[in-house]
Amino acid sequence: MTLEEKKQEIIEEFALYDEWLDKYQYLIELGHNLDPFPEEEKTEENTIKGCQSRVWLISEKKDGKLLFRADSDAIITKGIISLLVSVYSGRTPEEIAADDFGFIGAIGLRENLSPTRANGLVSMIERMKEIAGQSRQ
């Protein structure tokens, strides 16, 4: 699936839920199903500090593509992380750097990302872009 197709798939999935709580329920499920994150990688360096929830992110480059793994101590944030990982992991740095991450808004989660909420997600997206930018050079 291309990046665009994957994003479209998630947007359509979320369109099924018009109740906020159903949306959260789904994110909680995604959070629980996210691949386990190695405990030893929960270092200061890999921590993206938000005001409330903590987020961890690691990446590696394989065959020209960036692979991400991430975790959070809060489950809804973890669900959103799981979406980000499923969309962006396995893409080229160019693709990631060029993307505007606007699909988060399209599924109605923009308010979870607004900087005033001060959670780790905004910083996580910035970190993903930064990693993409660096590995492009």
Partner 1 sequence: MKLTQIRAQFPVLDSQVYGKPLVYLDNAATAQRPLSVEASWKQSVEQGNANIHRAVHYLAGVATDAYENAREAVRAYLNASAKEEIVFTAGATAGINLVAYAFGEAFVGEGDEIIVSVAEHHSNLVPWQLLCRRKKAVLKVLDIAPDGSLPVESLEKLISERTKIIAISHISNVLGLVNPVREMVEVCHKHNVPVLVDGAQGIVHCAVDVQALDCDFYAFSGHKIYAATGTGVLYGKKKWLEAMPPFLSGGEMIHTVRFSGTTFAPLPQKFEAGTQNINAVPTLVPALAFARECRENPEVEAEQEAILDYVYKQLTEDERITLYGVPRGTKVPLFSFAVKGVHHEDLALILDKMGIAVRSGQMCAEPLMDRLGVTGLLRASFAPYNTLEEAQYFIQCLNKAINMLV
By the rule CB under 8 A, 135 interacts with partner 1: no
The verdict on whether 21 is a catalytic residue reads: no
- How far lies 65's CA from each of 3, 36, 119, in Å? 13, 21, 27
CA angle 115, 125, 61 (to 5 degrees): 165
* Member of 24, 89, 92, 106 binding partner 1 (CB under 8 A): 24
Segment contacting partner 1 by CB under 8 A, of 3-11, 61-69, 70-78, 92-100: 70-78
The one-letter amino acid code at 15 reads A
Neighbours of 15 (CB within 10 A): 11
By the rule CB under 8 A, 6 interacts with partner 1: no
Whole-angstrom Cα distance, residue 46 to residue 99?
A: 23
By the rule CB under 8 A, 77 interacts with partner 1: yes
To partner 1, the closest distance from the beta carbon of 87 in angstroms equals 21
Nearer to partner 1, 7 or 23 (CB): 23
Q: Catalytic residue positions?
A: 51
